Amino acid sequence: MTTWLGLTGGTAVGKSTIANFFADQSVPVVDADQVARQLVTPGTPGLTALISEFGPEIVAENGTLDRKMLGQLVFHQPAELTRLNRVMAPLLLPEILRRMKRERNSELVVLDAPTLFEAGYVPLMDLTMVVVLSPAKQLERLMARDGLDQQAAAERIASQWSPSFKASQADVVIDSSGTIAKTRKKVLKWLDDTDFSG
């Protein structure tokens, strides 16, 4: 039996960094952000559905989705994020499940999904790992990584469910406030100490 591990936590807390630690140990990882990106490339039903919902102005001159513009809209206005989720949710779930099931020969498969809780994927997982970080450090990392100003970064953080709620529901909580090397050590120790064979 394959164990499905849902890896989640707020934006910029270090999920993808941790997902790479798993990948380095040959654990297959499905990256929900990447799936979402592939579903809306030019010519896809996903992009067509987004254009029907938000209008042609969400397409950049080169024909790709103007992610920056759509991001500014949906993270600034919760009602717009609800509209986006309504379009994306029915496309995302089957594709995520298809990719997870493809790894049936592995003992462990990781789903890296920022909205694991919000999208209702938790019941599909065998285990959940929630990455936590202090709000001040999260804001700092998000602003540094994405070049966002403080208000835009705070809005993006506020569009997600509370980290303390997610942590309270988790099977494993990983604090990523230390160095990347320290976080790596914690994750590898958990991987080493856990028996996935049953």
Ligand X SMILES: Nc1ncnc2c1ncn2[C@@H]1O[C@H](COP(=O)(O)OP(=O)(O)OP(=O)(O)O)[C@@H](O)[C@H]1O
Question: Looking at beta carbons only, is 51 or 177 nearer to ligand X?
Answer: 177
Question: Looking at beta carbons only, is 102 or 185 nearer to ligand COD?
Answer: 102
168 is in an annotated binding site: no
- 13 contact, one of ligand COD, ligand X, none, CB 5-8 Å limit per kind: ligand X
Q: Where in 105-164 is the site for ligand X (CB under 6 A)? A: 114, 141, 145
17 is in an annotated binding site: yes
For residue 105, the minimal CB distance to ligand X (Å) is 26
Identity of the amino acid at 48: T
**Beta strands 172-175; 3-9: pairing state:** unpaired
Locate 69 and state its tokens: 């513009």
Beta bridge partners of 129: 7, 172
57 binds ligand X (CB under 6 A): no
- Tell me the H-state helices in the chain: 15-24, 32-38, 45-54, 67-76, 78-101, 135-146, 150-158, 163-169, 180-193
Question: Looking at beta carbons only, is 88 or 174 nearer to ligand COD?
Answer: 88
166 binds ligand X (CB under 6 A): no
Question: Looking at beta carbons only, is 126 or 140 nearer to ligand X?
Answer: 140
| 78: Cβ contacts below 8 Å, ≥ 6 apart | 159
| 70: Cβ contacts below 8 Å, ≥ 6 apart | 50, 54, 58, 84
Locate 186 and state its tokens: 């914690």
| Chain positions contacting ligand COD, by CB under 6 A | 11, 32-33, 36, 67, 70-71, 74, 81, 84-85, 88, 113-115, 118-119, 156, 159-160
Q: Residues 39, 33: contact at Cβ < 8 Å?
A: no
For residue 124, the minimal CB distance to ligand X (Å) is 19
For ligand X (CB under 6 A), the number of binding residues is 17
Chain contacts with ligand X (rule: CB under 6 A): 9, 11-17, 33, 114, 141, 145, 176, 178-180, 183
Residue ranges of the annotated binding site for ATP are 12-17
